[in-house]
Amino acid sequence: MMPVADPSSDVLQRFSRGDVEAFEVLFRRHQGEVYRWILRIVRNPACAEDLTVETFWRIHRAHARFDPARGFEAWARRIATNAALDHLRSAKPESELPDDLPQPERADPGVSLELRRKTAHAFKRLPPKLRIAATLALIEEQPYKEIAEALGISTQAVKIRVFRALRLLRKNLKQQGIEP
Amino acid sequence: MTPQEQERIEQLLKQSLPPTGTQSAADLQRDLWPAMLRRLAQRSTSVPWFDWALLATLFVGLALFPKAIPILLYHL
């Protein structure tokens, strides 16, 4: 019996050689997933769309460095995370905040809108590296291993960043007169 | 920071910034391939900075040594 070639492996091989059609196949296959990952970080749909294109532009440029033996998803997620991090570094924290905060599914009546707004403000003033780790781990509840791969650090380092983010957030809230 | 404080801040954070999975735009609403094509075309037509530097060097050279212009034209 003739061995059947894996079509997805063939696409990855062709992409690594700079084939634009293979790039299109990968783009169409992964754009939704990359968009969702970026949205989790930047929390703005329009911005996430722009950054998805930026991510695939970086992917296209780096095709020669891609190793087809390793997975595309994890590689793409790492590039997407870097693109989102660059965006957070360049954006002003105040400009990212929506006028009306989305209501959580299980809203706590003890937490006022004003308190939620102040917490969101304080959170968005955290350093981007800490904010990404805390957003993905605590708000989006992504697995620590996945976050570590996307950030290119160890799982332990992610936990440290999350803890530092919470400590800094508590300090910021206390400065605003809020005792968590 | 005590574990209780940590738990309280985590809850406060979740109340303030709910997960994006609960938002209406959690999934991609349109195909981004046309935007990607525009981006690829834009980048492929743009002139690299090094080419601009070479061109500037040429003009400076011609301004300093105008007698070189006919030689340059002859070789073009």
For residue A17, what pLDDT is reported? 93
Mean pLDDT of the region B16-32? 83
Percentage with pLDDT > 90 across chain A? 69
Q: How far apart are CA B35 and CA A106, in angstroms?
A: 37
User: What is the DSSP annotation of A43-68?
Assistant: --HHHHHHHHHHHHHHHHHTGGG--T
pLDDT at A5 over 60: no
The reported pLDDT for the residue numbered A1 is 47
Chain A hits for B25, CB-CB cut-off 8 Å, are 39, 45
Query: What is the per-residue pLDDT for A93?
Result: 59
Q: Which residue has the higher pLDDT, A27 or B26?
A: A27
- Could you report the per-residue pLDDT of A67-81, keeping only the tens digit for each? 988 889 999 999 999
Helices (H), chain A: 7-16, 20-42, 45-61, 72-90, 93-96, 113-124, 128-134, 144-151, 155-175
Q: HSE, CB side, 13 Å, CA atoms: give it for residue A54.
A: 17
Q: How many CB atoms lie within 10 A of CB A21?
A: 10
Looking at beta carbons, which residues of chain A come within 8 Å of B9?
166, 169-170, 173, 180
Residue B10 to residue A138, Cβ atoms within 8 A: yes
More confident residue, A100 or B49: B49
Q: Is a pLDDT exceeding 50 seen at residue A169?
A: yes
Interchain proximity A119–B39, CB inside 8 Å: no
Instruction: Say what the pLDDT of residue A88 is.
Output: 94
For B20, nearest residue in chain A (alpha carbons): A40
Both tokens of A88, joined, read 């957070």
Is the pLDDT reported for residue A3 higher than 90?
no
Q: Is B33 on the interface with A (CB under 8 A)?
A: yes
Q: Sketch the domain layout of chain B as residue ranges.
A: 48-76
**pLDDT value of residue A94:** 56
What DSSP state is assigned to residue A106?
T
**Dihedral Cα A105, A107, A113, A114, nearest 10 deg:** -120
- The reply to whether residue B1 touches residue A60, judged by beta carbons under 8 angstroms, is no
Query: Across residues A124-147, what is the average pLDDT?
Result: 95
Is residue A11 very low, low, confident or very high in pLDDT (cuts 50, 70, 90)?
very high
Question: Going by C-beta distance under 8 Å and a sequence separation of 6 or more, which residues neighbour residue A56?
Answer: A23, A27, A31, A34, B32, B36
Q: In 3D, which of A93, A119, A109 has the Cα closest to residue A178?
A: A119
Length of chain B: 76
For residue A166, the distance in angstroms to the closest alpha carbon of chain B comes to 7
CB-based contact (8 Å) between B46 and chain A?
Answer: no
Give the confidence band of B18 by pLDDT, cuts at 50, 70, 90.
confident
More confident position, A98 or A31: A31
How confident is the model over B25-47, as a mean pLDDT?
A: 84
Question: Residue A153: is it exposed, middle or buried by C-beta count within 10 angstroms (0-12/13-18/19+)?
Answer: middle
Two structure tokens written together for B61: 């050279």
- Measured between alpha carbons, how far is B61 from A34 in angstroms, rounded to an integer? 49
| Whether the predicted pLDDT of A36 surpasses 70 | yes
Q: Which domains does chain A have, with CATH numbers?
A: 8-91 (1.10.1740.10), 95-180 (1.10.10.10)
| Subunit contact B16:A119, Cβ cutoff 8 A | yes
| Cα gap A134→A95, rounded to integer Å | 20
For the segment A143-149, the average pLDDT, to the nearest whole number, is 96
Residue A66: pLDDT band by 50, 70, 90 thresholds?
Answer: very high
B2 pLDDT tier (thresholds 50, 70, 90): confident
Q: Picking from A148-157, B2-11, B41-50, which range would have the lowest pLDDT averaged per residue?
A: B41-50
Q: Say whether pLDDT at A97 is over 90.
A: no
